[in-house]
Amino acid sequence: MKRKCSTVAIFGKFPPSTSSGTSSTPPIVFRRPCFFDSLMEETIENAHILFAQWDVLETPMFCDDASEARQYLQSVKDLQAVMQRLIKRDTNSELLLRPHNLMLTAITRLEKEFHRILSSNFGHSSNLEPSVSGEFSARYDDQESVTSVSGRSDLASSVADLKAIAECVIAAGYGKECIRLYKSVGESIIEEELNRVGLSEMKSSKKKKKMDREVLEKNLKSWLTVVQVAVRSIFCRERILSSRVFSCSPKIGKSCFSEITRSSVIRVFQFEENVGRHLKRAPPEKIYSTLDTYEAITDLWTELELAFSSDSTSVVQPHYDSALVQLRKASKTKAPGGGVYPLTKFVMNYLSFLSDYIEVLQDIVVDWPLNVKAPLPDWSLPASTGTSGLVYSAASTRLAWLILILLSKLDTKAELFKGDVALSYLFLANNLQCVVVKVRDSNLRYLLGEEWITNHELKVKHYAANYERIIGPPYSAHGCDFNGRSGQSVPELQCRF
């Protein structure tokens, strides 16, 4: 009898079926690897090979041939795309471990390149740009990526390389590390440059309670050089560099610049605050150094505002204002013994010199109207004609105004003698006497006229009379005369007026 071959005998028993005829266990599904999975595996493997190759090499990646650097950056971007795709599938996937470790290797290498480029190309004085920031920034125009071999200039390509690395690292999620590195290197570079131009040499004298006059003069000149180079070159260069490297995020660029320059700005202006305190104890003839310094600082404020954003200037301004306050206080030194103030001599010597060129001066100002809100007081009006009969009204009026302004300043200066009214009158008498003598002994006499001289001599006598009235007899008991000298008798004092 022929035996029938049973399907069950060959393949075994079928699993029990339900009443609906379907299996109780799900069918086995064989999943084929898709194209994207194969592409991700290939990307990871290529990144592994490339990163391992550069991990053992000590040669710079960003050099004349930029193709390898460009390939490395692109591999980092591709690896980042793979990681993002894997995260979308499963954030806890073990498949993320390998690309994550590869990414850490790549970021470490890029940070090393970033540090090398930044410190080697922008840490030398030869790379400082001139004060005109437009020239500096123009050198980096149209450098939006790592440049090719042809037409590759040193600084422009370095900025482009830094920018490419920063964009790549920030996109990979490691922006904080990149910013921290940039700030650290940038601060050390700026400190190095400030020390190179002389700030470190002034640091030792800053701690001294007293400065010699020669040391004070030297420090003032050195500081003026330092602050001008710092504002017009070092800070300006750093502002442009930060904005270029982090052009992908202007907010990051401004933040980096502010953080990098903050300590240096404070250091620069704190020194001037200290020097201003020393200037208050300097002799009156040193006022010109104070005025030069004050003028230099005020001229720099516009450039400081251009270099620093509105947020950054809030850090700079308190120290800037403090330096100006100290210099203002230094300029308010009293003339010892109510003597002649150095500025009085300086202005009158200058005006006496100008009076020697009155005809030339008249030609210069003849078509230059003098716009003033109020006319000169009668007692300050100059003569209408010179000895030769020529009309000098335009030039002589200006000179009379300058002297009137000087006298007004002296009135303000006399207020410094608080608690000693007699000494304030002595100060006014001495300084006005100096003005009258300079007018009488120069060509100013012919421009301002005898009436002008007479009017001001009467004011000198008025100040002297007030001084004598307050101190009372004997005059020699006060110990100084109308020129601030001591030990003169009453007849000698009276003879002077």
Taking only the tens place, the pLDDT of each residue in 67-83 is 888 999 999 999 999 88
Backbone angles phi, psi at 385, to 5 degrees: -135, 155
pLDDT over 60 at 197, yes or no? yes
| Cα-Cα-Cα-Cα dihedral sign, residues 423, 426, 428, 434 | negative
Mean pLDDT across the stretch 77-97? 84
One-letter amino acid identity for 154?
D
Q: Helices 250-279 and 175-196 sit at what angle, rounded to 10 degrees?
A: 30
Buried b (16+ CB within 10 A) or exposed e, 194-203: beebbbeebe
DSSP state for residue 232 in the 8-state scheme: I
Cα separation, 101 vs 349, in Å, equals: 78
Which pLDDT tens digit goes with each residue over 172-191?
999 999 999 999 999 999 98
Q: State the pLDDT confidence band at 385, using cuts at 50, 70 and 90.
A: very low
pLDDT of residue 442: 92
Contacts by 430-434 with C-beta closer than 8 Å and gap 24+?
430/335, 430/338, 430/339, 430/340, 430/482, 430/483, 430/484, 431/335, 431/340, 431/341, 431/344, 432/407, 432/456, 432/459, 432/460, 432/463, 433/460, 433/482, 433/483, 433/496, 434/340, 434/344, 434/345, 434/348
pLDDT of residue 321: 79
Higher pLDDT, 429 or 275: 429
CB 257, CB 243: distance < 8 Å: yes
Which pLDDT tens digit goes with each residue over 288-333?
667 777 777 788 777 777 777 656 566 677 777 777 777 766 666 6
Cα separation, 289 vs 280, in Å, equals: 12
Q: Closest Cα partner for 417 from 342, 323, 341, 494?
A: 341
Q: Closest Cα partner for 394 from 413, 415, 419, 371?
A: 371
Q: State the pLDDT confidence band at 384, using cuts at 50, 70 and 90.
A: low
Give the position of tokens 């001229």. 299
Cα separation, 240 vs 13, in Å, equals: 81
pLDDT over 80 at 406, yes or no? yes
Which pLDDT tens digit goes with each residue over 238-273?
989 999 999 999 899 988 988 898 888 888 877 766
| Cα-Cα-Cα-Cα dihedral sign, residues 208, 210, 215, 219 | positive
pTM of the model: 0.61
For the chain, counts of helices (H) and of strands (E) = 20, 0
Tokens of 494: 């009276």
Tokens of 269: 């202006």
Cα separation, 157 vs 141, in Å, equals: 11
Structural element, H or E, at residue 32: none
Tokens of 86: 């894997």
Cα separation, 495 vs 229, in Å, equals: 55
Q: State the pLDDT confidence band at 388, using cuts at 50, 70 and 90.
A: very low
